[in-house]
Structure 1
Amino acid sequence: MVTSTAPEAELAPIEQAKKRAAFACGEKYVQSGCRLGVGSGSTVKYLVEYLKQGYQNGQLKDIICVPTSFLTKQWLIESGLPVSDLDAHPELDVCIDGADEVDGQFTCIKGGGGCLAQEKIVQTAAKHFYVIADYLKDSKHLGDRYPAVPIEVLPPASQPLLRSIPRDEGGSCQLRQATKKCGPVVTDNGNFIIDWQFEKNVSGRDWLAIQQRLANTPGIVETGLFIGCVDAVFFAYSDGSVKEIVNTKKH
């Protein structure tokens, strides 16, 4: 078992929850020899901490880490972990990533950090996909916790898509703006992000059909909807507990 070296008391409660979820998932599903897709975001940094400790103390041997973003790659390199890519390792055993929201059907919204396309590419290369999250990401219906679906788009298509997506799917769209530079957020792939604020409280919404329509729209690279791919979710709660919820439809 790999244990955390940093006292949890030094972390805010929400960060403690993220760390417990990451460590619980890593302990159960990452083994020596694992070819691992490593996701992006604030919860994944604790997974990298888990991997670093296990690799350095010899409990995790011969692992290969394939990152889903530039930042995750930097975390892995700084931690001294073996880093590769899908060119060298096109088939992965496991992918572990965070999420912005997970509903009762294991449908996820991802992409709050702007890495959705690469995250989905790495996820689809893995045999199993596990989500790690704090209790604030647990919802009954999409939209209860997170207000929008991120959509990565080619820059020349951004203005037409800002109009066509609300016209065809309802709701409203905004081009995500950067906070440390003038202009829009630019992804690791050189694209823009449109945040589609979909209408809430729509009964019987078919997310798979929506995903297919959006994916077939010229100019859209990928959406932040992850449907039918999650094997299990690890939610960590404010009382210190971690609950693994298994998607029985995949088992």
Structure 2
Amino acid sequence: MNRAQKIATAVSVLVVAGIVALAAPPVVAATSWAAERFAPATTPVATPVTETEDLPADLPDGYVSVGNGTFIPAGGPGDCTASAWIHVGGMSASLAGELVDQGPRDLAAGTVGLDDKGNIVTYTVAPGDAPYAISDRFCIANPLSIALLNHTRTIQPGQVLLLRPDPDVPWVPFFNPVDAPSGFQQIPYQQAIYAMGVAADADDVDAMRAIWADGLSDMFINPEHVNVIAEALDVGDLDVLRQMFS
């Protein structure tokens, strides 16, 4: 996702748990409610790595690109033939690849929510569910991103998890704002983000505006990000606000 002003940084190479990432922060965009303010976004798509790509020298054979400079082993978890990848970072979230429902199973017995095109969008947590089993059910290669995307440390029965973020809608970081300084107080920030999510789920935009005005807005460093959130609250589009905070 890319706003009019891109967030650009230096690039570094990471190799973690078999995942090779050429890491650069995602860029941000928002359309629909603020289409004139933001540039169109491009959703990453999982594609095979080719010899013509500029790859890290030590990248093993048999990897695929999932966009944003990230490369993962080909295939997928469990019985999946390919992997989806949830990109979360900066002020953006997007899905690379496709979610495929492998069917209910132990630790992933909840129900699926579809959009009007039949795409998997949400998942309602059943008692005993675990993120790793949920990720295996839907062929998601980075299970820890499920909780992060949904602004939580743990998942709860009855919770509706977003699995397919809209790449044209901003996403507010859960742990701390972008560019937070060293020593930033995470606990008050996360409590406010959690409260915003509860209010969004209750369709209470006025409560969200009150939380924002009562101190959450002061925790953000980048004035552009403050403006993005303030505009969303002014418009009051709950679909947007739920992705941003819920």
> Normalising by the residue count of structure 1, what TM-score does the alignment of the two structures yield?
0.30
Q: Which has the higher helix share?
A: 1
Structure with higher RCO (Cα < 8 A, 6+ apart): 1
Q: Which has the higher strand share?
A: 1
